[in-house]
Structure 1
Amino acid sequence: MNETIALLLNHRSIRKFTDQTLTPEQVEMIVAAAQSASTSSNVQAYSVIAVMKDDLKKELARLSGDQAYVHSCPVFLVWCADLSRLKKAAQTHRPGEETYEGSMENLIVATVDTALAAQNAAVAAESLGLGIVYIGGIRNHIAEASSLLGLPELVYPLFGMCVGYPDQQPDLRPRLPQEAVLHWNRYDASTADTQVERYDEIMSAYLRERTGGAKDTPWSVLMADKLAQPSRMHMGQFLRERGFGRQ
């Protein structure tokens, strides 16, 4: 155990922030940490938009499912997978040639690059005493959000991130038993059911404690219910329209 691992193990999502603002220098430091993340072939296929204007945060909160903390946080970072720079490089140095910036593989690369950078930023923010929460709801109305932020072709908002000084200390949410996710040398499905049953018991107890007995639905039931509902079925068409995944 060391200070870095302790910080990582203490992560929790923060949805309530104080009125204390962040300086541009703090935001720049967090993004500098993000830029030091690993990136496939050095493509650095992401961009981040730091939203601090109150009216813009309010509109993004509405588009993200009326999540009030998107509006109340001092800085809302929108993490975007960005292949537009690669397309420009190809047009400049390979004029007239067929290039594959919009391929499915490059969509995966850009999405992974963005997530790696954002997680670096999350850890950096928490090391400064700040709190964060990821906002996948930015994809609820992704075309409207993209237009609001002025995103060009081959750029899409993967998720948002509220950043600010915490005004709450929620309990740590239990994770799956490590035996469910760590495999040695080959994937081992033999204990999957047992590990899920263990986690169902853990999460039911956690929910009972957190809600004063009002909820205790097992994790596997929650996941089954989630998968039984269509979610953001517009994403495939949107990405193709924006130039992604065409090859």
Structure 2
Amino acid sequence: MNNSTIDLLCRHRSIRAYLSTALSDEQIDCIFKAAQAASSSSFLQCSTIIRITDQDKRQQLAHDAGEQSYVMSAPEFWVFCADFNRHHQIDSSVNLGKAEQLLLGCIDTAIMAQNAVVAAESLGLGCVYIGGVRNHIDHVTTLLKLPRYVLPLFGLCIGYPDQNPDPKPRLPRSLIFFDNEYQMMDKTILSQYDQQMSQYYSERPTNQKPGGWSDKIPTTINKEQRDFMLSYLHKQGWITK
């Protein structure tokens, strides 16, 4: 059973090439309103979006994210932040620094961003998340003048697509959707998925890669270590208790 919403969700692709066409104020407002309508734990509303219109800041963020040129070329670039500073401004005696608050901020902000992506795609736009803003998170914090209890989680490029990549095949349902209890992985099913991904990687028009999915896991995880993150979080007022 499909409908237009499910079809839209299942057609999602990351878009990294954009036309120069600017978004209208009405489009920006619609995307923001959809983002803000996302679920909020205990209605804390612990997320903030910073829209980057300053081209110098865009260029610095593109550099910090690993020279990702589409941070510069996308008509819109928004940075999504977990934010308990707003609550601290309301009442400085609130008990902040708890690990659970980090989880709340990350979860709520991710849900908010996904609402924004779905809204943008419904308008014929494309998006890609930029986790690379955390590569030089201290500099990003200074650049965006983020106070304590604000955490930049990721950026989001938004614009009219100038490419049409195929959706990436996802893991089979049997490897990620369980009844009642966790189940260990079926290596035969994983091998079949690796073959599917190997074919996808070899046939796509750009950024072709040898191999399947699982053989890339060690390199990908090790690349995303960011060993400075715990000390940064403590300095910024997160998970200190």
TM-score, length of structure 2 as denominator length: 0.95
Report SS of the residue matched to 1:158.
Answer: strand
> 161, 168, 172: which is aligned to 1:177?
172
Residue of structure 1 equivalent to 2:227 = 233
Residue of structure 2 equivalent to 1:2 = 3
Question: How many aligned residue pairs are there?
Answer: 240
RMSD over aligned Cα atoms: 1.6
| Structure 2 Cα separation of the partners of residues 56 and 213 of structure 1 | 28
Structure 2: gaps of 5 or more residues: none
Segment of structure 1 superposing worse, 110-119 or 17-26: 17-26
The alpha-carbon distance between structure 1 residues 212 and 11, as it changes in their structure 2 partners (threshold 3 A), is closer
CA contact (8 A) 1:205 1:216 kept: no
Residue of structure 2 equivalent to 1:129 = 124
Cα deviations across residues 23-61 of structure 1 (Å, max 9, x unaligned)?
Answer: 233222111101111111001110001112222211110
| Structure 2 Cα separation of the partners of residues 58 and 128 of structure 1 | 27
| Aligned counterparts, 1:81-120, within 5 A | 81-91=82-92, 95=93, 99-120=94-115
Cα deviations across residues 136-168 of structure 1 (Å, max 9, x unaligned)?
Answer: 000000110111111111101100000000011
Cα deviations across residues 56-105 of structure 1 (Å, max 9, x unaligned)?
Answer: 211110111100000011110100010111222332xxx5xxx4222110
**Structure 1: which amino acid aligns with 2:225?**
S
**Structure 1: which amino acid aligns with 2:87?**
L
> 153, 160, 167: which is aligned to 1:165?
160
Q: Per-residue deviation at 1:214?
A: 5.6
Asked if 1:195 is matched to 2:189, the reply is yes
Report SS of the residue matched to 1:217.
Answer: coil
| Aligned counterparts, 1:197-212, within 5 A | 197-210=191-204
**Structure 1: which amino acid aligns with 2:196?**
I
| Aligned counterparts, 1:9-158, within 5 A | 9-91=10-92, 95=93, 99-158=94-153
The alpha-carbon distance between structure 1 residues 14 and 214, as it changes in their structure 2 partners (threshold 3 A), is closer
Residue of structure 2 equivalent to 1:222 = 216
**Structure 1: which amino acid aligns with 2:44?**
V
The alpha-carbon distance between structure 1 residues 44 and 196, as it changes in their structure 2 partners (threshold 3 A), is same
TM-score, length of structure 1 as denominator length: 0.92
The alpha-carbon distance between structure 1 residues 246 and 174, as it changes in their structure 2 partners (threshold 3 A), is same
Q: Per-residue deviation at 1:230?
A: 6.0
| Structure 1 Cα separation of the partners of residues 197 and 205 of structure 2 | 12
The alpha-carbon distance between structure 1 residues 192 and 85, as it changes in their structure 2 partners (threshold 3 A), is farther
Q: Give structure 1 regions of 4+ aligned residues with deviation exceeding 6 angstroms.
A: none
